[in-house]
């Protein structure tokens, strides 16, 4: 006999925004048992029914042994286990899914405490450093632990401070794609179809790809005369690029008076996400790329370093603002933004 279904609480949130009508929506489901104990098919069905760009499942850790809950590379111990699902597939890493999970825990500490069995949602009872009351660590299915914290961001141009939740993800400097290679021709063809232009007429400044766990990520910078904001894109064309995650970026218009350093959009139709409204993990590539470009263009009047904070805009239909920086010593991209809770309920598991 199959076990009787039970209900699990969930929250609906939007990341990288203070409005429920913009940013990247997501659901966070709190599970009473370690998330790896649930069949993937069951979690996928829940994510499909919730019909959000991402559903994050958060649970207690999978065991009490330190080696089970410890990052395989750093030895740091986690607070929660996390898995991310789109409407069609499970994915190994999700920036905005981590951001909303952290917000859900900070916003509902009593509920979070029931999940991980601590008096506080991140009570450092597992041996981590004291004094980290605003820090959460999540263990992923790959064995990597990702962190999120409540903090503030100082906007460089105005020196004004904004509150944010910040995640630290592995940085992913890209490898240039060789000019006139078969890979470049394939990407140019797909990009031309996406932008509704002959492939040879698209002004491309750079093409590169990630490595390791980011090997399926493609980064393209468009040059002068090419726009992203408000542009109609044939999203399905990116199925032909040879990459699952297609990140397209530009510099702001010369007439822009905002704080943003770069704009971007991300397309992943082969992963069930025609366009990700605001993609955190794309900035694992974007942050080191633009940090290096800024350093190369720095001057005495506008000095900068690789670690100078930046404001970024994702200019999808919903749009979002990100506060980012590159920690070269730790090898991470710090990606932050606001998160708003706009709904809640229960789901049968």
202, 297, 296: which is closest to 248 by C-alpha?
Answer: 202
The dihedral sign for the CA sequence 297, 299, 301, 303: positive
The confidence score (pLDDT) of residue 337 equals 95
**263 versus 126: which is more confidently predicted?**
263
* pLDDT above 90: residue 143: no
What's the rounded Cα separation, in Å, for the pair 271 and 86? 8
Residue ranges of domains in the chain = 7-167+338-348, 175-330
CATH superfamily of 7-167+338-348: Diaminopimelate Epimerase; Chain A, domain 1 (3.10.310.10)
The confidence score (pLDDT) of residue 67 equals 39
327-343 mean pLDDT: 95
pLDDT confidence band for 310 (50 / 70 / 90): very high
> Using one digit for the tens of pLDDT, what is the confidence trace for 214-223?
999 999 999 9
What's the rounded Cα separation, in Å, for the pair 191 and 199? 7
Say if 7-167+338-348 and 175-330 have the same CATH topology: yes
The confidence score (pLDDT) of residue 75 equals 46
Token digits of residue 157: 């141009």
Rg, Å, the chain Cα set: 20
* pLDDT above 70: residue 171: yes
Residue 127 half-sphere exposure, CB side, CA atoms within 13 Å? Answer: 10
The confidence score (pLDDT) of residue 293 equals 95
Do the Cβ atoms of 271 and 282 come closer than 8 Å? no
Q: Give the CA distances from residue 314 to residues 2, 21, 60, 103, 222, in Å, rounded to whole numbers and listed in that order.
A: 45, 15, 33, 20, 15
What's the rounded Cα separation, in Å, for the pair 303 and 282? 26
Least confidently predicted of 101-110, 117-126, 171-180, 194-203: 117-126
Q: pTM for this one?
A: 0.83
* pLDDT above 70: residue 117: no
Q: At what angle do helices 95-107 and 109-116 cross, to 10 degrees?
A: 110
For the chain, percent of residues with pLDDT exceeding 90: 65
* pLDDT above 50: residue 125: no
What is the length of the chain?
349
193-215 mean pLDDT: 96
* pLDDT above 70: residue 269: yes
The confidence score (pLDDT) of residue 62 equals 60
**Neighbour tally for 126: CB within 10 Å:** 18
* pLDDT above 70: residue 65: no
**3-class SS of residue 331:** coil
The confidence score (pLDDT) of residue 68 equals 43
107, 88, 103: which is closest to 138 by C-alpha?
Answer: 103
The confidence score (pLDDT) of residue 209 equals 98
Q: Give the CATH number of domain 175-330; options: 3.40.1350.10, 3.40.50.300, 3.40.50.12160, 3.10.310.10.
A: 3.10.310.10
pLDDT confidence band for 128 (50 / 70 / 90): very low
pLDDT confidence band for 157 (50 / 70 / 90): confident
pLDDT confidence band for 302 (50 / 70 / 90): confident
Do the Cβ atoms of 25 and 51 come closer than 8 Å? no
**Residue 323 DSSP one-character state:** E
66, 73, 141: which is closest to 332 by C-alpha?
Answer: 73
CA angle 172, 26, 60 (to 5 degrees): 80
């Amino acid at each position: 006999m199959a076990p009787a279904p039970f209900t699990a609480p969930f929250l609906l949130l939007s990341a990288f925004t203070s409005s429920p009508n913009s940013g990247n929506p997501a659901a966070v489901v709190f599970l009473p048992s370690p998330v790896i104990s649930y069949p993937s098919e069951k979690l996928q069905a829940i994510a499909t029914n919730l019909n959000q760009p991402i559903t994050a499942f958060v649970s207690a850790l999978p065991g009490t042994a330190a080696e089970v809950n410890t990052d395989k590379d750093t030895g740091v111990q986690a607070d929660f286990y996390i898995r991310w699902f789109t409407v069609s597939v499970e994915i190994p890493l999700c920036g905005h899914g981590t951001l909303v999970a952290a917000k859900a825990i900070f916003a509902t500490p009593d509920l979070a405490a029931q999940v991980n069995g601590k008096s506080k949602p991140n009570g450092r009872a597992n041996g981590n450093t004291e004094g980290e009351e605003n820090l959460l660590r999540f263990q992923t299915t790959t064995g990597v632990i990702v962190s999120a914290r409540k903090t503030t961001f100082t906007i460089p141009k105005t020196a004004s401070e904004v509150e944010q939740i910040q995640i630290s993800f592995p940085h992913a400097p890209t490898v240039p794609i060789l000019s006139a290679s078969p890979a470049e021709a394939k990407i140019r063809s797909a990009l031309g179809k996406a932008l509704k232009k002959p492939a040879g007429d698209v002004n491309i400044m750079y093409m590169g790809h990630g490595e390791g766990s980011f090997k399926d990520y493609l980064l393209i910078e468009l040059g002068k005369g090419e726009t992203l904001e408000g542009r109609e894109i044939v999203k399905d064309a990116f199925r032909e690029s040879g990459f699952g995650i297609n990140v397209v970026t530009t510099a702001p218009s010369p007439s822009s008076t905002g704080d943003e350093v770069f704009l971007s959009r991300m397309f992943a139709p082969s992963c069930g996400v025609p366009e990700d409204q605001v993609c955190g993990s794309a900035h694992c590539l974007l942050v080191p790329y633009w940090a290096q470009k800024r350093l190369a263009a720095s001057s005495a009047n506008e000095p900068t370093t690789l670690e100078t904070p930046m404001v970024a805009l994702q200019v999808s239909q919903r749009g979002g603002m990100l506060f980012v920086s590159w920690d070269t010593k730790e090898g991470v991209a710090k990606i932050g933004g606001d998160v708003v809770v706009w709904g809640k309920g229960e789901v049968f598991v």
